[in-house]
Structure formats: C-alpha cells, structure tokens
Amino acid sequence: MDQRIANRIGGLAVFPDGPTFDSTNPARPADVIATLPSSTGAAVDDAVAAAREAQREWAARPVPARAEMIAAAAEAVAARKDDLARLVAREAGKILVEAAGDVQEAVDMGRFVAGQGRAAAGETVPSELPGKLAWTTRQPVGVVGMITPWNFPVAIPSWKCFPALLAGNGIVIKPSEEAPVCADRFVECVVDAGVPAGLVNVVHGAAEPGTAITLHPGIGAVSFPGSAPTGGVVAATGMAAGPKLLSLELGGKNAMMVLADADLELAVEGALFGAFGTAGQRCTSTSRLVVQRAVADELVARLAERTEKLMLGDPLDPSTDVGPVINARAGERILAMVAAAREEGGDVVLGGEAVTVAGCDGGTFVAPTIVRVERNHTIARKEVFGPVLAVLVVDEVADAVDVVNDTEYGLSAAVYTRNIAAALWAVERIDTGIVYVNAPTIGAEIPLPFGGTKHTGNGFREAGTRGIEQFSHVKTVYVDYSGRLQKAQIDTHPFEAEEQS
C-alpha cells in the first residue's frame, strides 16, 4: 500500500505541514503501510468545527432515516470485508480468521444499531395529575470525540461511531497510531455509503490530538479505551475543560476458574483460545487460570502440551495460530514481566522468551507462556496484554472467587464446572461486568452491554441497547393539556391530624 493517508476534515483530505509518522506491519516493521500526519490541536479545532456544522442537519433527520444510512454503511463494510481483513492482519498483526472477525463485528454492529432506529428510545410514565403526559426522550450531545485502540481497529470504531451517529451526533475520531489505516478505511466505507461530508472526521497523530480532543470545549462526549493510568488522565483533563460525558474502558485482569468437576478438555480449549488468541492482546484475554488443586497438575500439563503446538508466524499465512505482539516495546515489557515473575518465585512452565520467525524480519514474537504463580506476585495482579497465562492453584471454590476478585480490574471472568449450582453461586459473587460459564473470557456479543467494574471503567457500557446512552442526554418532557394550572410539587395528600382527645 505504502501511501500518504491524510486527515479527513469537513469531507476533505487534509495533510498539514509538519512531522509525519509511519504505520508499519508488526510482523515485518520494514513494511511501511502508510505515512500519516502527526497532527496538532489546530487540526482538532478544524475537525470539531466541521463536525458541529454537519451535525445540525444530521440531528434534524428522523432517527429512522439516520438508521437507514447506518445500515448502508454496514453493507459497505461487508462488501469490502476481505480487503479490510487483510489490512487488519497486516497492520494490527491479527491472524486472518481473527482479522475477519474484527471486520464482521463492525458489520454486525452497524446492522444492530440500524435496527435500533425503530426501537423505543425512552419511557412513558403515568402522571400523578390528570390531563398530563410524562415521557423521556434522548438528545444528541453535539460532537463526540473518540480515541480508538489498535487491537480492534475496525470493530471498536464501529462500536462507537454507529451509536453516536444514530444518536444524532457529529464525530471526531483519533485512531491509534499503531493501526490508523484500518480506522481510515472504516470511515471511508461510512462516507462512501452516503453519510454526510464532515459528519465523521479523522485526525491522526499521537498524544497531542488526543489531548486536544479531551480538552476541547466544543466536544460534548469523549470515548476512550486504554490503560487505567491513561484513563485517569483523560478523565481529569476532560472534566477540567468543562462538563463532558466520559466513557472509559480501561483494561482487565481476566480470570478463568476451573473447578475440580469441570470438563478438562473443554477448559484446555477455552484457556488456549482465551489466553493466546490475538497474542493475548485483547482487553478480555484470559490472563489468569484459577484452578482447584485436585485437577491443577493435569490441566496445566494438558494445556502446555497443546500450547507447544501453536504455530507462530505471519498473520497473513492461514496456518499461523499466533501472530506478533504490536511492537518491540510491547515485547520487551511482556518479557520483563515474565522475568519479574521468575524473580518472585514463579515457575515458568512454558515459553517466556522471544521467538524468531522466518520471513518476518524485525517482527516481535513472544512464545505463548504459562507460569505458575502465587496471588501476591505482580504478574497475577497487573495487566500483561500479551500471550502470558498466570496459573493460580486454590483449594475451595470460595478461594477461587476470592482470587478472581483480588485485582483492581473487573472486566471479564469465566467459570468451568458441570455443577450449575456452583456456577451460579460463583456468577453472583464475581465482581466483573461480564461472566461466562463454560466458555473463555473472550467472546462478547454485540446485543448485550460490554464493560466492567472497578478500575476497568467508569460505569458506561458499550454495545447493546445501552450503547447509545454514551452519546446522548436524557430529556424529560411533561405536557399538561388540562387547560388549568395544576400545581406540582405541593402536598396533594395533606396529612389529616387525628383529633386529640
């Protein structure tokens, strides 16, 4: 591809003078996909102005009409699925089947959100007064700022853009500098489907445009996924600049509980996919395996045997099971965490090393790693975001739940057991936003809310019917058609004092 990709502002391609950066293939960093501008706050100012101008007309359209345009955008993505999937594999390092799933999520999200265009968007309640109606509706916030990650470079922009558009907003999106071309191609599909010029604007770069989005007084909502420390900065700076809706999704330390009566082969399959799919670079990746002592040795042995057979390689090769981590810095950080686990007394059962892959010069590949640790070890508590599975052994089911909850995050968890009573007992007590039974910690479906508790986020949920709530305000409406003044908020049920004897 090797081309220049400009910002998209007001329906125009804008490549400002100044520094640039390259988007490269993580499997072969010498393979430059595109050169893009390192934008400044001035580009964000222009994008916000364009979004606000286009948003006025867009918000005046009936919601079903907006939904029809979103449906068309979903079909535009579907028509380019193969090309987009190969781009995701090349730019984000996801193997082809996962890359195609990333794109399919965007298609499914567009279709789902379009269906919400004719669904109920508020509530009607009986008034306490006669001749009076009471209901709620939802109003757009105006312009939404979005900072999107590289690990789902098509799916996550769709999770944010489609609901924001249905709500009647304009958009300014800053994709991750690790996978900006994927986001640009997604927006291209949206624009080609007929969404008005200037409604969805893209500004490329690193920290400066991201900070400008969070601080901009013309932006009414900011959506950000990333690390908890960075999310804290986004929250503080965003609110300091004035009232905003802030939707933060800040990672996880997801655990799979395996009880002694579980189907061990099913648990092995789940752990293999949950921990090492996408090279462990999902916010919901299975990072901890919490297993009862009676089956721990057998489960770990089976899992290690299967893990050794995983093929590391070029994501574009259909035979590859695990691709590279996103860059050399990520590889160094992951391996440093494994080394620290050894120093703390952890037992590295498998992996824990860099791997050289033929034909992928310069790519950073980390061997899928299994390490047995204690719950106080750093790697058992901190997010790794790589192909590393920490195994913790417990005796009782209650101990397993305690270990699952013993982290600052609360995104996703899983329970493997044949005992439905034990499964539901655990589901009630696990403090995460998502819980699976007999399935790994990854695999959320778009009709249901996605998000977590504790430091995983600030309470907002993406996807599902709640997704639109991130990007709209509730408006309460009262209509009094009685034709007379009805005094509200006074005592309509006066207290009748008992006659004192």
Active site residues: 249, 283
**Closest to 335 in 3D by CA, of 345, 323, 325, 320:** 325
Are 134 and 477 in contact by the 8 Å Cβ rule? The answer is yes
Q: Tokens standing for 450? A: 């996605």
Q: How far apart are CA 82 and CA 86, in angstroms?
A: 6
Q: Within 10 A of 13 (CB to CB), how many other CB atoms are there?
A: 11
Phi, psi of 247 (to 5 degrees): -110, 110
**Closest to 210 in 3D by CA, of 149, 299, 298:** 149
Q: Tokens standing for 487? A: 């005094």
CA R_g for the chain: 25
Are 143 and 170 in contact by the 8 Å Cβ rule? The answer is yes
List beta partners, residue 434: 412
Q: Tokens standing for 106? A: 């965007």
DSSP code for 278: G
Rounded to 5°, the CA angle 167-168-173 comes to 90
Residues 6 or more apart from 425 whose CB is under 8 A from it?
A: 397
**Closest to 295 in 3D by CA, of 177, 424, 393:** 393
Q: How far apart are CA 427 and CA 435, in angstroms?
A: 7
Half-sphere exposure of 352 (CA within 13 A, CB side): 19
Q: Which amino acid is present at 438?
A: N
Q: How far apart are CA 397 and CA 31, in angstroms?
A: 49
Instruction: With both helix axes pointing from N to C terminus, report the angle between 228-240 and 207-215 in degrees, rounded to the nearest 10.
Output: 40
Q: Which amino acid is present at 133?
A: L
Phi, psi of 32 (to 5 degrees): -85, 125
Q: Tokens standing for 237? A: 């700076």
Q: Tokens standing for 19? A: 């520094």
SS (H, E, C) 97-162: HHHHHHHHHHHHHHHHHHHHHHCCCCCEEECCCCCEEEEEEEEECCEEEEEECCCCCCHHHHHHHH
Q: How far apart are CA 203 and CA 221, in angstroms?
A: 17
Half-sphere exposure of 18 (CA within 13 A, CB side): 14
Tell me how far apart the terminal alpha carbons of the chain are, to the nearest angstrom.
95
